[in-house]
Each structure stands twice: as C-alpha cells, then as structure tokens.
Copies of this chain bind each other. A is one copy, B any other.
Amino acid sequence: MLDGNAVRSVDRAASLLIALGESQGEAGVTELARRLGLHKSTASRLLATLQKRGLVEQDDDSGKYRLGLAVVRLGGHAERTLDLRSIALSELESLARNVKETTTLEILEGDTVLTIAYSDASGMGRDRSGRSSPLHATAPGKVLLANQPERDVIRLSKVGFTPYTSHTIVRVDLLLEELARVRKRGFATAFGEFEQSVNAIAVPVYDQRTSVVAALEVRASGNRILPSRVPELVERARDAAAVITERIGGVVAPV
C-alpha cells in the first residue's frame, strides 16, 4: 500500500479525504480512524490540518467532518485541466445536439466507471461529472470491462454483482457471454439494468495505439431509446469517438 518513498502522514491524510468522499455526507473521527486503522488522535490531527486549508469542514454541532469547499474548487480546476475531458467535451455536445439525448464520457477507475464529461441536450440537467457507476450494469461499464482481462471479471464476481433492477446481469457466466458479445459487435447496451427506466448504448474510445481509454455513452430515460434506434445511435457515437481519438493524439490522462 505504502511503498518505499512516500510521506506517511500525507498518505494518511489523502486516505482520509478519499474515505470522506466515499462516505456520503459526514463521518466522525472515530469512525474514520477505525476504517483506516489509525489512532483517533492521529485522525483528529490530520483532519484539523486539512480543515485549515478548507479541504474539509467540521459540523459545528455534531463535530463530524465533511468535504470542504476547497475540494469543490479544486475539482472545478481539475476538470478544466485534464486533457481528455476538455478535448472530448465539444464532441459530446455536438453529439448530444444531434441525437437529442444525454451523452457522457466514462473511464475505468478502480472497480467502477467514472463520468469525466457530460453533455445534456434537453437543457436543465446537472452536470454529472465525477460520479461513479457500477461496471456490470451500465453500457460504458460493459465496454470498459470487455477490454479488461477476464480474471478481473472473475475477481469482481467474488464480491458479487448488485442487482439494481430485475434486468441487471448478476450471474458471472451470463456477464462473460455479454462481454463477448460487446467485443464482437463493438458496442454495448444497457436497457434498464442500473436504473429502471434508463436505456443506454456505449462505444469504445481508442487512443492512437488502439487500446481502449474510455467509453462514450448515449443515454435516455424511458422509451426514447428502443432497440430499433440502436444502430443509428451506435453509428453516430462511433463517429464522435473517432474524432476524439484523432484529437487526443495519444496524450491521454493516465489512469
């Protein structure tokens, strides 16, 4: 975990930040300390230090901690800094306008899929960048998983696949079949497998060396995406993905 040349206290503080992000809302010192195997006085000191920089905030009443405004600001800066995101965004927007649906760019992040860019044709939607979704129940998740070694799928299956809806694929053998289909056809679908009334398709985004670095998704609620419309959406999505590939020129944020 902590190899050779790393600063222990900083590594611990970073863990605290990330743990605080994973626990939705607030978390107490004792709870965090236990979760990370730290002494609670250590956790308290580290959190107090982070608080001075605004990275975390403490609730006046409960004494619990939550992520701070500095993190929001940093996140805004980071979004603008990261290569793939900014490059991809204009393509996502034009695709969203063309098909009149929501489009996102997703990458593999640990055992989840992370939304790094988002465009919304209908208008008022919130930018959903920064959200994580499951690999086995989403179209981009399947695209990314289909390009990982099969042992990773097996490993994930040990933990188990959460059945978000009645359509979620939870049996590992069926998921492996589905991933083979994805590889063969070059795109993935997910019809109400994560959220009941959301259908989506996704295609891979390659870098110059033809390895998959992201997945481009077209998503819509309810019955706006029917099987009959899939070929058209896939084709348009592939065009957009090709443009992104061309523009990133091999320079992709390493994951």
Contacts and interface: CB of A to CB of B under 8 A. Distances in A.
Interface string A123-167: 110111111100000000000000000000000000000000000
A109 B46 contact: no
Contacts of A14: 13, 49-50, 52-53, 55
Given A7-B46, A45-B5, A126-B89, A72 B67 contact: no
Of A2, A25, A77, chain B has the most CB atoms within 10 Å of the CB of: A77
Nearest to A112: B73
A73 B130 contact: yes
A253 B122 contact: no
A151 to B, nearest CB: 23
A97 interface: yes
User: Copies per complex?
Assistant: 2
A63 interface: no
Interface of A: 2-3, 5-7, 9-11, 13-15, 17-18, 21-22, 24-26, 45-46, 48-50, 52-53, 55, 57, 60, 66-82, 89, 93, 96-97, 107, 109, 114, 116, 119-124, 126-132, 253-255
17 contacts: A5-B48, A7-B45, A10-B46, A10-B50, A14-B50, A17-B55, A17-B74, A18-B70, A26-B81, A66-B78, A67-B77, A69-B116, A73-B114, A73-B130, A76-B130, A126-B127, A127-B127
